[in-house]
Amino acid sequence: MNDPSMNRLVEQVRRTSREYHLWSPGDCIIVAVSGGPDSVALLHILNQLARDNEMCLNLVCAHVNHGFRGLESDKEAEFVAEIAAKLDIPFELGSFDVPAYMKETGKGTQLAAREKRYEFLHSVADKYGAKSIALAHHADDQAETVMMRLLRGSGPTGLAGMKITRHERNVELIRPLLRIYKTELVRACQSANIPYVTDSSNLLNKYDRNAVRLDVLPFLGQYNGQLVASLNRLAEVIGDEDDYMQQEVVHVYDNLVSQVDGGLAFKVPQFASLHAALQRRLIKLILDYLPFNMEESDFVKIEAIRKGTVQNRPTTWSLDLGGGLCCLREYDIIRFVSNVADRDLSGYSYSVDPFRTEVPIPWAGHRLHFLRSEAEHIVKQSNKVGKDEAVFDADQLVYPLTVRSRLPGDIMRVMGLDGSKKVKDIFIDEKIPPSLRSQIPIVSDAEGRILWIAGIRRSTVAMVTQHTSSVMRITLVAGSE
């Protein structure tokens, strides 16, 4: 083939390949060919590049018969098979009853056809051990995509349109023609006498993409003669900026987000210091990682989380995100957890017999260590040990001791107060997240007196004095083993 129009496209694709590293010498590439001028031109361009002695690409021509147009679809499959045979390229045919699949799943025409098409292309890539799947999307397709997403209210990621290269299921989806307009592809096929077919369904504006191509873009083109080119520039500029923002939000994620109790969490002050654009992206990235399939329409949920996080007044709230996922704010902590993971863990109770020195609380991630000893060096300061330890006059306790979760109406005599205080109010004062309150061990004696809210507050029961002869030292230790 020595046609000037086709040769120009070959060189343009070669430059795109070098810029985006679309392939390497010896790569196997699955070429999706429908039979139209776009995909036929792509197959011929790649075939010419594959024969380059320095490249030696291995091509496989793949065609999908969706089962929509009966005899017309069968003839298209035969046509593509003949092209592959003439070029001495292996041919793979996938035949599907997409209308039946639509009835089975309730999915629309375009979505159902796309799922079956990509399912087949990936299976062919697996069969041949291909590195990439080449798709014939061109600049006009890009403009249609951007316009469709603009009409749906997509954010920057959506308006970036299709990527020239994108990783999916162990292979790269590559679009070597994305900077070339359809008129150039048609002109090159006609100039080089390369036959192609026309899909009659492309002329029906009952499909969204066809309606945008046939009605919306021509109408808007009256006000901007370079509309398609403008939409492509928009996609390229936003695409680059979107890539940059994505790199930034991954960096923010690594610094702010941590794994907690099977979910993800971050602290409000650090989040609030971010620009609103990064705040939204961070929330979406978290939801993507959990995983939670977000649609562009879920901007409302993302914004509800963001605004609920940056409000000045410390508070607690929960938001059901659907799909079994819940977002919780507990004072200065935002957590994303499954509704199942956030279930109430109350109801446990362990008796501490005289010979038992340790009680594990596995789901709380810690254990309590009990040690009774002589009080040779114990003085009043023993009552002022750190929050993870409490010391009691062992002779004033009524045994056996009990380690349990909190109960409704729990009251404890508090040091520094002339009286008692509800355990619930102590948790609130200490800003203990509601989801963690039922996990915190409470130590009581046989008379039901609360001795210690482990790691939080000690009671006035069994205070150590200079007259104490034996002490019970209880220590909160991290880890359940």
Residue 349 marked in a binding site: no
Residue 438 CA: distances (Å) to CA of 74, 235, 424, 432, 452: 66, 51, 10, 10, 15
Comparison of pLDDT for 364 and 24, the residue scoring more: 24
Comparison of pLDDT for 177 and 376, the residue scoring more: 177
- Radius of gyration (Cα) for the chain, nearest Å? 34
Q: What strands, in cross-sheet order, belong to the sheet with 389-393? A: 358-361, 366-374, 470-478, 389-393
Q: What is the pLDDT of residues 230-252, one digit of tens each?
A: 999 999 999 999 999 999 999 99
Average of per-residue pLDDT across 383-390: 75
145: left (phi over 0), alpha (psi -120 to 50) or beta: alpha
Q: What is the pLDDT of residues 187-231, one digit of tens each?
A: 999 999 999 998 777 767 777 888 999 999 999 999 999 999 999
Confidence of residue 131 (pLDDT cuts 50, 70, 90): very high
pTM for the model stands at: 0.71
For residue 238, count other CB atoms closer than 10 A to its CB: 19
Pairing of strands 420-422, 411-413: antiparallel
Tell me the percentage of the chain whose pLDDT exceeds 70: 91
Tell me the percentage of the chain whose pLDDT exceeds 90: 56
Among 375, 416, 377, which Cα is nearest to 394's? 375
Pairing of strands 165-168, 171-174: antiparallel
**Distance in angstroms (rounded) separating the CA atoms of residues 255 and 86:** 56
When the pLDDT of each residue in the chain is averaged and rounded to a whole number, the result is: 88
At 293 the pLDDT is 59
Average of per-residue pLDDT across 289-298: 65
Domains and CATH numbers, the chain: 4-235 (3.40.50.620), 257-338 (3.30.465.60), 349-478 (3.50.40.10)
Q: What is the pLDDT of residues 84-110, one digit of tens each?
A: 999 999 999 999 988 888 988 888 888
Do the Cβ atoms of 66 and 96 come closer than 8 Å? yes
**Distance in angstroms (rounded) separating the CA atoms of residues 234 and 116:** 30
**3-state helix/strand/coil string of 327-389:** EEEECCEEEEEECCCCCCCCCCEEEECCCCCEEEEHHHCEEEEEEEEECCCCCHHHHHCCCCE
Among 212, 239, 242, which Cα is nearest to 227's? 212
The residue assigned the tokens 């776009």 is 38
**Distance in angstroms (rounded) separating the CA atoms of residues 479 and 423:** 24
At 380 the pLDDT is 47
Residue 36 marked in a binding site: yes
**Distance in angstroms (rounded) separating the CA atoms of residues 334 and 283:** 10
